[in-house]
A and B are shown apart, each in its own frame.
Chain A
Amino acid sequence: MAKTASIAEGKRKAGRRYKGFSSWNNYLFLLPALLFMAIFIVYPIAYNVVLSFQDVDIYNFRQERNFVGLDNYVQTFRDPVFGTSFVNSVIFTVLSIVFQFTIGFALALFFNMKFPGRNLFRSLTLLSWMLPVVITGTIFQWMLSGDYGVVNALLQSVGILDAPYNWLSEPKTALLATVVANIWTGIPFNMIILLSGLQTLPEHLYEAAKLDGANKWLQFRHITLPLLRPTLLVLLMLGIIYTFKVFDLVFIMTNGGPVNSSTVLPIYAYQLSFSTFEFSRGAAVSMIMFAMLIVIAIFYLRLTSKEEAN
Chain B
Amino acid sequence: MAQMQIPSAGLREEPRRKVRWQPWAKTALSLLMLAVFLFPVYWMIRTSMTPVTALYQNPPQIFPANPSMDAYLDNFVRNRDMLRYIGNSFIIATGTMVLSLLIAVPAAYALARLPLKGKALIMILLLSIQMLPGIMMAMPLFIMFSRVGLIDNYAGLIFADLIHSLPFAVITLRPFFLGLPSGLEEAAKIDGCNKFSAFVRIILPLVKPGLMTVAVFCFLFGWGDFIFALTLSSSDTVKPLTLGLYSFIGQYGTEWNNLMAVATIAALPIIVIFITMQRYVVGGVTSGAMKD
Contact = CB atoms under 8 A, between A and B. Distances in A.
B263 interface: yes
Nearest to A231: B290
B115 A266 contact: no
A193 B246 contact: no
B129 interface: yes
B137 A41 contact: yes
B119 to A, nearest CB: 9
Interface string B1-17: 00000010000000000
B290 to A, nearest CB: 7
B37 A125 contact: yes
Given A26-B116, A61-B143, A247 B134 contact: yes
Nearest to B46: A150
B259 interface: yes
A175 interface: no
Interface string A88-122: 00000000000000000001001101111110011
A70 interface: no
B139 A273 contact: yes
B289 A283 contact: no
Nearest to A235: B289
A41 B124 contact: no
Interface string A199-232: 0000000000011010000000000000000010
B139 A247 contact: no
B41 A128 contact: yes
A47 B37 contact: no
Interface residues of A, number: 105
A133 B270 CA distance: 12
A123 interface: yes
Nearest to B29: A110
A18 B195 CA distance: 11
B31 A139 contact: no
A161 B291 CA distance: 46
B96 to A, nearest CB: 12
A193 B284 CA distance: 11
Interface in A18-53: 18, 20-22, 25-30, 32-34, 36-37, 40-41, 43-45, 47-48, 51
Contacts of B124: 301
Contacts of A43: 144
Contacts of B286: 192-193, 196
A36 B150 CA distance: 15
A211 B7 contact: yes
Interface string A2-16: 000000000000010
B281 A126 contact: yes
Given A135-B245, A138-B263, A297-B128, A22 B114 contact: yes
Interface residues of B, number: 97
A289 interface: yes
Contact of B27 (A15, A115, A251, A266): A115
B249 to A, nearest CB: 7
A73 interface: no
A135 B27 contact: no
Nearest to B55: A148
A124 B38 contact: yes
A116 B24 contact: yes
Mostly helix, strand, loop or mixed at chain B's interface? helix
B60 A22 contact: no
A132 B224 contact: yes
Contact of A138 (B24, B259, B290): B259
Contacts of B22: 115
Given A20-B195, A193-B286, A273-B139, A26 B115 contact: yes
B285 A27 contact: no
Contact of A140 (B24, B40, B55, B270): B40
B147 A62 contact: yes
Interface string B260-291: 10010011001100100010011001100111
Interface of A: 15, 18, 20-22, 25-30, 32-34, 36-37, 40-41, 43-45, 47-48, 51, 56, 61-62, 107, 110-111, 113-118, 121-136, 138-143, 145, 147-148, 150, 153, 156-157, 184, 187-189, 192-193, 196, 210-211, 213, 231, 234-235, 238, 241-242, 244-245, 247-248, 251-252, 266, 269-270, 273-274, 279, 282-283, 286, 289-290, 293, 296-297, 301, 304, 307-308
Given A115-B26, A304-B291, 11 more contacts: A37-B129, A40-B141, A107-B33, A134-B246, A145-B254, A147-B58, A148-B57, A150-B43, A187-B37, A282-B135, A293-B132
Interface of B: 7, 22-24, 26-27, 29-31, 33-34, 37-38, 40-41, 43-44, 47, 55-60, 102-104, 106-107, 109-111, 114-116, 122, 124-125, 127-129, 131-144, 147, 159-160, 162-163, 166, 170, 185-186, 189, 194-195, 199, 220, 223-224, 226-227, 230-231, 242, 245-246, 249, 254, 256, 259-260, 263, 266-267, 270-271, 274, 278, 281-282, 285-286, 289-291
15 contacts: A30-B110, A30-B111, A32-B103, A36-B162, A51-B139, A116-B24, A126-B282, A130-B270, A135-B267, A139-B43, A150-B60, A189-B285, A196-B286, A248-B227, A279-B143
